[in-house]
Structure 1
Amino acid sequence: MSNIVLATDGSPFSDAAARSIVEGRLLKAGFTVHVVHVTPDVTGQVRAFVSKETIDEWHKEESEKAMQSVCDILKAGNIPFEAHSLRGFAPERIVAHAGETKAEAIVMGTHGRGTFFDAVIGSVAGRVLAMAPCPVLLIKGERAK
């Protein structure tokens, strides 16, 4: 069975990417989806005052919240998936996970803000696209009205 990575940030754009997988219009059947969410590492200053257990619990809770709707969509569509909470710099961790799972593709929702805005603040999707060892499928979801 082949693998694909679905990176989520908990936004409606990630939900649109999950729905595109369920609808099956762009990817062949017979794959396992590795849902990933990346929380940033905390600074040394935070680690000096907050216990490792508290930090670990925060990472776990944040990832579970961010992955919940995507996992619900995949479950309702009978798509096999695994959920992975990762830590670090999101583009690097997403690409590394794709390599570790030998993913055939990375699927991401994109905010589609535009090249100027992304050039100023950076884009996780753009960085993943530049670094990925496999094809990257960007799904543009509708903006909230």
Structure 2
Amino acid sequence: MPDQSIHPTASLEDIDVANILIPIDGSLSALGAVKQVIKNSAFQPQPTTVRLLNVQPVFSKHITRFLREREVHAFQTDRAERALAGAVGMLQQAGLPYSVHVRRGRIVEAILACCSETRCDRIVMGTAPKHALARWLQGSIINTVIARAHVPVEVVSTGEETLLDRIGVPVSIGAGLMVLVALSD
């Protein structure tokens, strides 16, 4: 699935532009990153251009053997458009130039490749607060991007912890400790 440019940007070679990549998955956290970039653009000494990236997963061969390539493409295009709609609307309303990129594949690799290909100066990613144990257990796309990116990565924390993060993880830890104490007796 090639990159799709919805809003063409002016030639960037002639002017100094803050070129920012924002991965968009349709979550409130991703929209929080867009909101932060819009807010910060007013304080930038140079114009800001935003690259929105949506990454669609590659389906397994077990699924694709029952579907035609154009059906998979149509499904992924629809999902990408829905995920990107809120971010696109926010950038249009703010009047910031942007382009939209849709890729298929692994998320981290797609983010890093798009960043390199579009010569972004920075990656801005949104995240919801999570309990440290939940972050450790789930692994983190953000941590991997930070470790592998050759440009600064800004992480914008938005929203609140989920009920599972606030209550479920500490309760699970407590229950696990109680089991260990009971087994040690």
TM-score by length of structure 1 reads 0.92
* Alignment partner of 1:66 is 2:61: no
Distance 1:115 1:109, change over 3 A: same
Matched residue SS, 2:52: strand
- What aligned pairs does 1:31-50 form with structure 2 within 5 A after superposition? 31-50=48-67
Tell me which of 28, 53, 58 is aligned to 1:12: 28
Cα drift, residue 114 of structure 1: 3.2
Separation in structure 2 between the aligned mates of residue 125 and residue 26 of structure 1, nearest angstrom: 26
Cα drift, residue 31 of structure 1: 2.5
Are 1:21 and 1:27, in contact at CA under 8 Å, matched by a contact in 2? no
Q: Which residue of 2 aligns with 1:126?
A: 143
Query: Highest relative contact order (Cα 8 Å, sep 6+), 1 or 2?
Result: 1
- What aligned pairs does 1:1-145 form with structure 2 within 5 A after superposition? 1=12, 2=17, 3-24=19-40, 28=44, 29-143=46-160
Matched residue SS, 1:134: coil
Separation in structure 1 between the aligned mates of residue 68 and residue 91 of structure 2, nearest angstrom: 34
Q: What do residues 20-52 of structure 1 show as CA deviations (whole Å, max 9, x unaligned)?
A: 111126972413111001111000111111000
Q: What do residues 93-131 of structure 1 show as CA deviations (whole Å, max 9, x unaligned)?
A: 001100111110001101221332122111221111111
Matched residue SS, 2:30: helix
Separation in structure 2 between the aligned mates of residue 143 and residue 9 of structure 1, nearest angstrom: 18
Higher normalized strand content (fraction of residues): 1
Are 1:20 and 1:26, in contact at CA under 8 Å, matched by a contact in 2? no
Separation in structure 2 between the aligned mates of residue 144 and residue 70 of structure 1, nearest angstrom: 22
Separation in structure 2 between the aligned mates of residue 27 and residue 90 of structure 1, nearest angstrom: 30
Are 2:129 and 2:159, in contact at CA under 8 Å, matched by a contact in 1? no
TM-score by length of structure 2 reads 0.73
Larger Rg: 2
Are 2:22 and 2:125, in contact at CA under 8 Å, matched by a contact in 1? yes
Q: What is the number of residues matched between the two proteins?
A: 145
For 2:89, give the aligned amino acid. Answer: D
